[in-house]
Structure 1
């Protein structure tokens, strides 16, 4: 048994886990799911403003990824590929919606409750305002802004995920920032 084979599965890098998963190692794929379900869910819930739809989108993305592993040519590209599947599915859901659905966005990232109550209320109100403001962006702007500002991806990575050139990505993010800045002025 080699050192790589005996290493705890959680300590393996993504490319190794993807290679093992492609070879049928379910535990390796489960580790990838554990590692990336949180970021994918946060992206989906912020894009869709609906926890149920976000859960469905993430589950579908991971299922499609599992089925599509044999077609993935570069094991190291798994995370970008997963972001692309999740983002595209969210965009499809948004396009299929009626003009606007009013929903209550109760995110997993709520403010801490052990702080001063007035501070917690202020933060909660600011988060609600930001979430409402995000829903006023176009789906494409929201996707680009979330991938950049929340998930920290580069413009190149975002372009690959949303299928747009860097200039378009920069433009979408700039318009999103300007619109969000205007809406969030009262909170400065």
Structure 2
């Protein structure tokens, strides 16, 4: 693959890959690092890319795998840093709750609390608008398993929204708070 082919075939999907990485990592700078790593690997494998049937799905899979590697590497955190996070959450102001009233941000927050696999699938299907077959290529999963996980993810999001609308409470790992 020549440089011009790489620019026309691979670089146009960079925004999709970046949004996908941000969705998984919840950190734009880390997502940009992941994207840079993925493009570097794709460039190094540019001669083999012509053999790949669905380049976009291959790039999504590479991005997902690199994001999961980053998450695994940062899982070990000190107790002191956890105390700081818990303390900061306890002192959140009412303005934080007002910001969460925005339904789009509420849905995004609920999606971030989904398990990794469900979060990735709902992002690929509902945000990136990929077909089930493309998601299957990107995740190495069966289409039926993707449908089941997507259904479960959507149900969890729907149930959380209904719970918030009916009771005005959101629950997370650390505390319960009233949404204004």
How many residues in Structure 1 have an aligned counterpart in Structure 2?
147
Is residue 100–residue 106 contact of structure 2 (8 Å, CA) maintained in 1? Answer: no
Q: Which residue of 2 aligns with 1:29?
A: 6
Is residue 24–residue 120 contact of structure 2 (8 Å, CA) maintained in 1? Answer: yes
1:80-91 superposed matches below 5 A: 80-91=57-68
Q: Which residue of 1 aligns with 2:132?
A: 155
1:107-165: CA deviations, max 9, x gaps? xxxxxxxxxxxxxx889822321221112111111111111111111222111111111
The answer to whether the aligner puts 1:135 opposite 2:112 as a matched pair is yes
CA RMSD of superposed structures (Å): 2.8
Structure 1 residue 85 displacement after superposition: 0.9
Q: Which residue of 42, 46, 52 maps to 2:19?
A: 42
Structure 1 residue 33 displacement after superposition: 5.0
User: TM-score normalised to the size of structure 2?
Assistant: 0.69
Unmatched segments (≥5 aa) in structure 2: 86-97, 167-180
Q: Secondary structure at the match of 1:69?
A: coil
User: TM-score normalised to the size of structure 1?
Assistant: 0.67
Is residue 61–residue 139 contact of structure 2 (8 Å, CA) maintained in 1? Answer: yes
Q: Secondary structure at the match of 2:113?
A: coil
Unmatched segments (≥5 aa) in structure 1: 1-21, 103-120
Q: Secondary structure at the match of 1:164?
A: coil
Is residue 46–residue 131 contact of structure 1 (8 Å, CA) maintained in 2? Answer: no
Q: Which runs of 4+ in 1 moved over 3 A?
A: 30-34, 73-76, 99-102, 121-124
**Cα 1:72–1:32 shift into 2, 3 Å:** closer
**Cα 1:61–1:125 shift into 2, 3 Å:** same
